[in-house]
Amino acid sequence: MERKLFFSLEVGDEIRLMIQNHISTGRFHLVFLTVLMAFCVLFGRLYVLHVLQADQYAGKIEKLRKSNSIIEARRGNILDRQGHLIATTRPRFTLAADPFFVDLEKTNNIKNLAKILYTDPSSITTAINNCSSSYVVIDKNLDEEQYEAAKKLSIKGILLEPHYERAYSGNQMAAHVVGYLNKENVPCIGIEKSMNYYLEGQDGSRQTERDGRRRELAQFRNREVAPKNGMDVQLTLDVSIQSAVEEELDRIVREFQPQGATVIVSEPSTGYILGIGNRPTFDPNKFWEYDIKNQRNLAITDIYEPGSVFKVVTVSAALNEGVVTPEREFDCDIAKVRYRGKILKLPSDHDPLGIINVHKIVSQSSNRGAAHLGMMLGERRLYEYSRAFGFGKKTGFLMGGEVNGILHPVKRWDGLTITRLPMGHAISATPMQVHNSISCIANDGVLMSPQIVRRVLENGEQVVSFEPQQLRRVISVKTAVTMSKMLAKVVAPGGTATRARIEGYQVAGKTGTTQKIVNGRYVKNAHVASFVGYFPAENPRVVMTVVVDEPIRKGVGYGGVVAAPAFQRIGKEVIRYLGMEPIESQDKGIASLTPDSNFYSSLN
């Protein structure tokens, strides 16, 4: 017993001695205090987070747990007058991936997904491997068929998100009228912008909760506001007529390589635009590939001197005021006249015309004859009729970017304006203003507001209607009928626009050929060629304007040579499409022109 006790005491002393020899008391206390302080800091931080800042962090956690998402509204369609789609919104889907959850080892899944996307499997794996975040877009343009196929694969970590995409079925067709949405879905020009209030609709919203992997927990949806889709806008355009316009513009570009070209087709009785196009143009589906200048709607943004087309205004005003009759004759060989005590030099004609009456002033497009009529009217009446026909101010066309044109007030006229304005110089106008002025003649002297929108539809039902708008009566019915007779002779044999004739139909119209002003002077090698006309002359249903800026050809690019044939070709297509019956005799047709008493009485 004593030996065993002695042995245990001896061993215990030896152990204590070993501890004392190998472990420092100070170091032990330091480690102990360090661990104690660490726990104090940890518990202190927990106290701050869970007690002092509990409300602040609880709000942040709530935001992470709950999610507010936008439910995109479907933008309304743009239709032609027959209900054909011009612009629509189609559903598209974005396929994305979370690299942390996609199992790339399951190669069959990636191969099957690649087949659906019509791509190589390596492009998918590369995109996922190179992603440094938790979200990478693989394809953002899946259609509904691809979406359903990808959804059936049920690949872990693959996300499918719906969105809408704007599509323009006619590509370049009526691009300046329709406009486009940019890459941020902001409407930029055309109907897309001017009618955005009706088209855009109202987005909805959804409030829900997500789990730790950011997956939606549908059972915890707290509130959902359904989106209100946009309304459809129906235009006055007709895609068949618009197609004829676009084809002819392409032909003009191929044949004459002009700086620009514009064609407008409308109904004179309503002001509804049936077709309108410009060159250069662009494709709204890929607008970013085109120069920004291609987006200019030349019909309302660019001005030119209308030239001889403006003589219609001068002659109409003189007849309406009773200062002349159609048979009144003028000596157009005289180069100078005395006007209000001053000797004025008259503009020259392209050929010597001698003594001609008002009929021939129109059919032969006499500059001097128009100058005589302008002086008989005087400055005030010539200016007032020019304004009444719509020159010098906007037409009220719905599209943005329209300009006023240039028509100086009388106080700013120089000594030659009274002889130059009657022939279409000293004034600048847009193609739409010129078109509208001739439409006034075709509409028995009543100026209409040009319109491009017919109605707004919601679920197929009309909610807004855009009816024809009469602006004012400019000339009497009698004067308008007389002018139609004169303008028909412009297109008849011996006139300046025989190439605008359409066999079996009475066409009335006027050519225009003007030298362009470069560095303040008229130049002989740059012209604007135009023709404005309507048919049938005895009962106008269609008015058309063709303007070609700087056509390239041998010799002068006269309106009767460049623009009139384009009028004829489009006119034939329009006649065929509308099913217009020909008249038995052109002479009989023009002789039958009489004022429409019913129409006249309806205006009073």
The pair of structure tokens assigned to 370 is 């128009």
Q: What angle do CA 402, 305, 235 make, to 5 degrees?
A: 35
CA distance 444 to 598: 12
The predicted-structure confidence for 5-38, as pLDDT tens digits, reads as follows: 444 445 556 555 555 555 567 777 788 888 888 8
CA distance 362 to 91: 57
71-80, 117-126, 221-230, 589-598: least confidently modelled range: 589-598
Residues 6+ apart with CB under 8 A from 45: none
Listed in sequence order, the DSSP H helices in 224-291 are 239-256
Query: In terms of C-beta distances under 8 Å and separation of at least 24 residues, what long-range contacts does 208-213 make, across chains too?
Result: 208/66, 208/67, 208/69, 209/65, 209/66, 209/67, 210/65, 210/66, 210/67, 213/101
The pair of structure tokens assigned to 225 is 């506001």
Write out the E strands in 258-325. 260-266, 273-279
Question: For the chain, what is the radius of gyration of the CA atoms?
Answer: 39
Of 290, 271, 293, residue with least CA distance to 282: 290
Place of tokens 């739409």: 432
3-class secondary structure, 587: helix
CA distance 365 to 512: 9
CA distance 261 to 257: 10
Q: What angle do CA 9, 14, 19 make, to 5 degrees?
A: 130
The predicted-structure confidence for 369-419, as pLDDT tens digits, reads as follows: 999 999 999 999 999 999 999 999 999 998 888 999 999 999 999 999 999
Of 312, 364, 374, residue with least CA distance to 337: 374
Of 388, 390, 376, residue with least CA distance to 422: 376
List of domains in the chain:
68-235 (3.90.1310.10), 239-603 (3.40.710.10)
The pair of structure tokens assigned to 582 is 């020909």
The predicted-structure confidence for 449-491, as pLDDT tens digits, reads as follows: 999 999 999 999 999 999 999 999 999 999 999 999 999 999 9
Place of tokens 């070209």: 261
Q: What percent of the chain has pLDDT over 70?
A: 86
pLDDT at residue 448 greater than cutoff 90:
yes
pLDDT at residue 545 greater than cutoff 80:
yes
pLDDT computed for residue 138 by the predictor: 82
Adjacent-strand bridge partners of 85: 79
pLDDT at residue 270 greater than cutoff 70:
yes
Do residues 533 and 487 touch, judged by C-beta distance below 8 A? yes
CA distance 274 to 238: 5
Do residues 116 and 95 touch, judged by C-beta distance below 8 A? no
Q: Secondary structure of the chain: what % helix, strand, coil (to 5)?
A: 40, 25, 35
* Cα dist from 596 to 315, 389, 436, 592, 599, whole Å: 21, 21, 20, 11, 5
DSSP 583: P
pLDDT at residue 593 greater than cutoff 50:
no
Backbone torsions φ then ψ of 189, nearest 5 degrees: -140, 175
The predicted-structure confidence for 145-202, as pLDDT tens digits, reads as follows: 887 887 887 777 777 777 788 999 989 999 999 999 998 889 999 999 999 999 998 8
The predicted-structure confidence for 297-338, as pLDDT tens digits, reads as follows: 999 999 999 999 999 999 999 999 999 999 999 999 999 999
CA distance 215 to 104: 20
